[in-house]
Chain A
Amino acid sequence: MSKSTLSTTKVTLEDPQKKKKKFSPYWITAALFPIIMLTWYVITEIRVLHPILMPGPEAVLKAVPKVFGSETFVMHATRTLTEIVGGFALGATVGFILGLLLGSSNVLRAAYLPVLSAMEAVPTVIIAPLLIAWLGFGFEGKIVQAAFACFYAVFITTLSGLALANANSVSLMQSLGASKIQTLLKLRIPSALPVIFGGLQLGATIAIIGAIVSEFVGADAGLGFLLLRYRSSYDTPSAWVLIFCFLAIGIATYLIISLAEKKIVFWRAAAITRPDLEKK
């Protein structure tokens, strides 16, 4: 094991300035977009599916001014957005309050957490027909649907977020003689905010889905209702325009909440770029 001979092997000198050419992955990202568009075009040209079912890019583009220009479009869009925002606001508020309540009292938590957790498993769409029977085709039912669907995400992240404050910080507040409410407001809630925003993002997505599904089941207005109408009149290009609208709504929601998070939880980004300071 100890035998070794040192031969005079010369090692090549490495050029200290040698830099590996950095090929950014985002070139691939950019390249994929025209590839996807091209594939779409080709598929529809060779008619894999009947053009009524799967329109090509030009047909969809042509339908854009038609859809946006129709006099009722703004009304439908406003209606759906109201449902989404209203449902999300209601659900998030209820979720947040429930989270605060259960987070502040161990008794309440032990009593209600099992039941509330079961909500996680429920496909909330199932109550859509029920809500329509109870509340009609109007926006009220949609708001309730969306709220019911999304409250859990905000609730559970609030609840677990409140427990995140580390032991040392809690001890500090105690040593200052802070009351429970003060600790809640000055320590626990701020510590919980990053996680709560995660719940808000998810909740927003779920609220959108809830509103749309509810419109599918039965409505008198709204973008989902409009989508069904286009579909049943075989105006598929217009239907696809609406699908892209929904994509835009989804992206916009994500961006808005991210922006809000950056402003409100401004310290988080800094902590991430200074890992030496981030508490483990």
Chain B
Amino acid sequence: MSSSADIRSRGKALRKQTKSTKQSMLVGGLTLVVFLVLWELLPTIGVLNRVLIPTLTDTIWGLGQLVSGGYWWEDLGSTLSSVVIAWTIGVTFGITMGVTLGTSPFIRTAITPYAIALQALPKIVLAPVLIGALGFGSQSKIAIAVAICFFPVWINTMVGLALPSAAEFTFMKSLNASRVQVFRKLQLPSSVPIVLVGMKHAMLLSFTGVLVAEILSSASNGLGKLVKEFSLQLNMPLSLAVITVVLTIAVSLVSIMDVLERKVVFWSESERGKNS
């Protein structure tokens, strides 16, 4: 079903295997410098429309304005709190559903077609309806984000519970272990790596959901609303500044989860960077 967990672990394994050499650092550094220089230069000399694409310094100045202006803190707080709350609800819901429906292979097979259908639906299309039902406040933001982000956690929990090999299940059977024991001692630990990956993915989706909700509804607050407003006013430096903030928050959140993941599942194959 979902290969997003697969993709994340591949990315991680690749990053572990890739070593920086002097050459590569040079190439990377050079690219960065060229990029920054062009960013500063091209709008200045008019090759790019400075109004639409502000220079690097314009953007930094915008960032300064944003922070000192003071009015953005409320938006920042609104977005962040919605993201975290929605993520928590989504993860709890997803794991519960996954455990309830995933421990028995029979039930798992029975509901798989519905899970595939649910996965095929771009759940973001529920956003306008949810906003209509729940209004413009943070409830609809959280509802949309939960609807989008619980899914990978649910799927990964179900997949994770089915991960152990036939040999491992046979081994537990040879000890005459009860269903509960097989769940607690084999299925649950086996599923932790992939569930954590799902939780990481859910963080990104929660963020996406919140931002979309903020952009969609006219009366909300939040970083999404800010970007929309600034862009509409063609105040690009501020808009880019907020985007930079969003990027930073997103990368930080996921990095924190990466560190946690490394600590908890040091024993899993993806963590050990097993070469395929």
Contacts and interface: CB of A to CB of B under 8 A. Distances in A.
Please determine if A and B sit in direct contact within the complex, based on CB atoms under 8 angstroms apart: yes
Nearest to A126: B246
Given A107-B21, A122-B250, A130-B231, A205 B239 contact: no
Given A111-B31, A212-B122, A236 B212 contact: no
Given A212-B125, A254-B116, A108 B107 contact: no
Contacts of B17: 163
Interface in A217-251: 217, 224, 227-228, 231, 236, 239-240, 242-243, 246-247, 249-251
Interface in B93-132: 106-107, 109-114, 116-117, 119-122, 124-129, 132
The majority secondary structure among interface residues of chain B is helix
A208 B19 CA distance: 35
Interface stretch (B1-9, B156-164, B188-196): B1-9
Contacts of B253: 121
A125 B122 contact: no
A153 B52 contact: no
Contacts of A109: 18, 24
B276 interface: yes
Nearest to B4: A202
Given A122-B247, A130-B243, A253-B120, A107 B129 contact: no
A254 B24 CA distance: 38
Interface in A149-199: 153, 156-157, 159-160, 163-164, 195, 198-199
Contact of B3 (A32, A120, A198): A198
Contact of B107 (A25, A129, A212): A25
A127 interface: yes
A25 B250 contact: no
A227 B110 contact: no
B228 A217 contact: yes
Contacts of B31: 111-112
Contacts of A160: 10-11, 13-14, 276
A251 B207 CA distance: 25
Contacts of A137: none
B110 to A, nearest CB: 4
Given A243-B125, A251-B117, A28 B107 contact: yes
Contacts of A37: none
A49 interface: yes
Contacts of B251: 118, 121-122
Contacts of A42: none
A45 B239 CA distance: 46
Given A110-B18, A202-B7, A228 B128 contact: yes
Contacts of A118: 247, 251
A268 to B, nearest CB: 14
A260 B75 CA distance: 45
B120 A247 contact: yes
Interface in A254-270: 254
Nearest to A113: B18
B11 A29 contact: no
B236 interface: yes
A74 B186 CA distance: 53
A26 B120 contact: no
Most chain A beta-carbon contacts within 10 A, residue among B28, B114, B236: B28
B14 to A, nearest CB: 5
A133 B243 contact: no
A239 B18 contact: no
A227 B240 CA distance: 29
B254 interface: yes
B232 interface: yes
Contacts of A127: 243
A242 B125 contact: yes
B129 A123 contact: no
B63 interface: no
A74 to B, nearest CB: 19
Given A54-B133, A114-B15, A250-B122, A129 B109 contact: no
B129 A126 contact: no
B147 interface: no
A125 B215 contact: yes
B25 to A, nearest CB: 7
Contacts of B2: 202
15 contacts: A25-B106, A54-B133, A110-B24, A117-B14, A124-B208, A125-B224, A130-B227, A134-B52, A160-B13, A160-B276, A216-B128, A217-B216, A236-B132, A240-B129, A243-B125
Given A236-B129, A250-B120, 10 more contacts: A28-B110, A32-B114, A117-B11, A118-B247, A122-B246, A130-B239, A132-B231, A163-B17, A217-B216, A251-B117
Interface of A: 25-29, 32, 49, 53-54, 106-115, 117-118, 120-130, 132-134, 153, 156-157, 159-160, 163-164, 195, 198-199, 201-202, 205, 208-209, 212-213, 216-217, 224, 227-228, 231, 236, 239-240, 242-243, 246-247, 249-251, 253-254
Closest 5 CB pairs of A and B: A250-B120, A110-B24, A111-B28, A129-B231, A28-B110
